[in-house]
Structure 1
Amino acid sequence: MPPIFDTLLGNLMVPTILFFVLGLIAAFARSDLSIPEGAAKFMSLYLLLAIGFKGGSSLADYGLHIDMFVTIGLGVLLSFALPFIAFLLLRSMTQLDTMNAAAVAGHYGSISIVTFVAATSLLELTGLTYDGYMVAVAAAMEVPAILSALWIAHKFSGQGASGPGLYRDLLANGSIVLLVGAFAIGAATGTDGMAMIAPFVVTPFTGILCLFLLDMGLNAGRSLLKNKHLLSAGLFAFGILMPLIGAMLAWVLGSMAGLQDGSQFLLMVLSASASYIAVPAAMKIALPKAEAGIYLTLSLGVSFPFNITLGLPLYLWLAGL
């Protein structure tokens, strides 16, 4: 077997990815396997708290450094720019009208925090390190893509709500609040704080992530089965191509900035991922006439499974890890 395939296969054979695959298989087999909604919500909150706190604690050890501000700047730049690339691709590859193309484009540039958490877990399972401030980069990349999508929608279709109320709601999104808040608490309490709650945020982390990704696999598979009639060949191809473009742009910019390998990989993952929580909520408010079935199925049913199963090992290899 060629070295590249041997490496990619080795990176695929980790529990987190395999539990996601199990969820996909169960969904496609029409299994009645399910995770209670309350349990899924708890796991989501736990993962956000744990990754935020660990990132903040790591930053306390690392200290404020110019590298952090440069990387956050790169993340914000990518988040602003990627929806424009996505919009151009959608208009050339698909039959989507401008409003729906803008709504879909906003998902690509914003981030999937679950993909980010899975990526950090993959690094930890393989014994690789990354900078704790990458959690702050993830938080900074949530909103700029939404602003780009709303500008595109207003410019090319004359639609799209805006105003301080919408932006306040975006910044008050529960995922962002918990992630940033846990990061701040971890940074403030540092090593002593981590020692206090390590049995909660470290020891059970991988097991809970496996269970959560099982649930995500079930959701992704069922979303794809339910809405597959909405996916043309062009849309499906876009859902695979756009993550690769985002990852390659992040690889180029991260290499120019001299990011260490683990952080380079995470920036690629953030740029490759598509939101299926914050952006759909924003689009429902700002572009209520856009087809939710299209953008949710693309982000959750196509790009998310691709990133989790094939993308993460590929980006890990491209980052030289």
Structure 2
Amino acid sequence: MQIDPVVLFFLLGLAAGIAKSDLKLPSALYETLSVFLLLAIGIKGGLALAKQPMMEILPQAMLVLLMGCLIPLLIYPLLRLKLPQADAASVAAHYGSASVVTFAVGVAFLTRLAVPYESQTTLFLALLEMPALVVGVILARLGGDAKQATGHGWGKLMHEVLLGKSIVLLLGGLAIGYIAGPEGIKPVDKLYLDLFKPVLTLFLLEMGLVVAGKVGALRQHGLFMLIVGVGLPVALSWVGIGFGMLMGLSLGGVTLLATLAASASYIAAPAAMRMAVPQANPALSLGASLGVTFPFNLLVGIPLYHQFAIAVA
């Protein structure tokens, strides 16, 4: 199977960092790339939302949001067995969120098999970005007492979480895409839609450099993160299957929701967690999500989740 170029850019950054190259992206550029990606993901979700009859998909959308909140809450206690609070919260946020590229490969897989699926699954992808990030930030900042964790009470904490840059950009992009619609967004679609993947390559190049700089921490938890990277997606796919059946999705829809549940974000989550939880080690979350789970899902996971869906259909 052909390797997606975005993964190759990540590997380039990783190799350059391990080789002690002087390759480095300006910090201002990284910040700009993060803002662009978060905003573009939101706009894509808003455009998908604008194409759907709201009242028909609202119950499904609410269940997807619930799933996005539930996944990090389920896996956080397991991660805390081996990881510090901030790292466990960051990894949980990555796995509660979803991978755009994994979703795209899942769509291609179903298309090749001529298996139909619901169009609103694209909306589900966008919706899954948000709740896990909010839950992840809360988990990272709370040790049971919001005031102790942040120096402020619950009100200040929730203000920081819900009005942090990453959440504002995702929600703002969602609103812009929904209000503007496919026609209204045309004057800027070449920037936010057509350039999404090229910008993503630069972002992942930087993330490869970041991970290489912290590879020692990944070695420290290597076996555990390998188990996480393979075991979590298989287990979480059943969460997606359960929600898909509850929502009454078709076989293809259940497969895609299982794929989304089993995937881990390496776009929105790294950007959001680096902004909101800077003390978390990105080598752990990206090492598991991009280094283990992503290739596992592409090579083994998606066909496996489809067989799971067939078995319970």
Q: TM-score range by the shorter chain?
A: 0.7 to 0.9
Inter-CA distance 240–25: structure 2 relative to 1 (3 Å threshold): farther
Secondary structure in structure 1 of the residue aligned to 2:93: coil
C-alpha separation between the residues in 1 aligned to 2:129 and 2:259? 13
Task: Tell me the CA shift for residue 174 of structure 1.
Answer: 0.7
* Alignment partner, residue 175 of structure 2: 184
When residues 123 and 51 of structure 1 are mapped into structure 2, their CA distance, relative to the original with a 3 A threshold, is farther
Deviation at 1:20, TM superposition (A): 1.7
The equivalences for 1:220-235 within 5 A come to 220-225=211-216, 227-228=217-218, 230-231=220-221, 233-234=223-224
Q: CA deviation at 1:90?
A: 4.2
- C-alpha deviation, 1:135, in angstroms: 1.4
Q: Partner residue of 2:135?
A: 144
Equivalent position of 1:54 in the other structure = 44
CA shift for structure 1 position 249: 2.5
Q: Which residue of 2 aligns with 1:76?
A: 66
Of 75, 93, 116, the residue aligned with 1:110 is: 93
* TM-score normalised per structure 1: 0.73
For 1:23, the equivalent position in structure 2 comes to 13
The Cα RMSD (Å) is 3.8
C-alpha displacement of 1:154: 2.5
Q: Which runs of 5+ in 1 are unaligned?
A: 1-9, 285-291
Contact kept in structure 1, 2:14 and 2:208, CA below 8 Å: yes
Q: Structure 1 residue aligned with 2:205, among 188, 208, 214? A: 214
Paired residue secondary structure (2:174): helix
User: Partner of 1:164 in structure 2?
Assistant: 155
Q: Give 1:37's aligned residue.
A: 27
- Mapped to 1, the partners of 2:31 and 2:174 lie a distance apart of 20
**More deviation, 182-191/61-70:** 61-70
1:266 counterpart = 2:260 = yes
The alpha-carbon distance between structure 1 residues 136 and 237, as it changes in their structure 2 partners (threshold 3 A), is: closer
For 1:164-208, what per-residue CA distance to the aligned partner results, in whole angstroms no more than 9, with x for missing partners? 101110001111111111111111111222222122122222222
CA distance in 2, matches of 1:273, 1:50: 11
Whole-angstrom CA distance in 1 between matches of 2:304 and 2:6? 20
Structure 1 residues 125 and 232: alpha-carbon distance in aligned structure 2, compared to 1, 3 A threshold: closer
Q: For residue 273 of structure 1, report the CA deviation from its aligned partner.
A: 9.8
Looking at structure 1, the residues matched to 277 and 39 of structure 2 have their Cα atoms a distance apart, in angstroms, of 26
1:263–1:77 Cα change, 3 Å: closer
* Aligned pairs, number: 292
Unaligned runs of 5+ in 2: 112-118, 308-313
- The reply to whether residue 195 of structure 1 matches residue 178 of structure 2 is no
**Conservation of the 8 A alpha-carbon contact between 2:240 and 2:257:** no
Q: Name the amino acid aligned to 1:207.
A: P
The verdict on how the C-alpha distance between 1:307 and 1:279 changes in structure 2, with shifts beyond 3 A counting, is: same
**Residue identity in the other structure for 1:266:** L
Distance 1:122 1:74 in 2: 20
Q: 1:145 to 1:160 in 2, by over 3 A?
A: same
Partner of 1:288: none
CA contact (8 A) 1:273 1:307 kept: no
Q: Deviations over 1:19-50 (max 9, x none)?
A: 22222222222222222222222222222222
Report deviation, 1:53: 1.1
Q: Which shifted more, 23-32 or 127-136?
A: 127-136
Query: Residue type of the partner of 2:30?
Result: A
SS of the counterpart of 2:178?
helix
How far residue 141 of structure 1 moved from its aligned partner, in angstroms, is 2.7
Structure-2 separation of matches of 1:149 and 1:165: 15
Q: Structure 1 CA distance, aligned partners of 2:302 and 2:56?
A: 25
Q: 1:254 aligns with which of 244, 247, 251?
A: 244
- Whether the 8 Å CA contact 1:246–1:271 is kept in 2: the answer is no
Residue of structure 2 equivalent to 1:305: 291
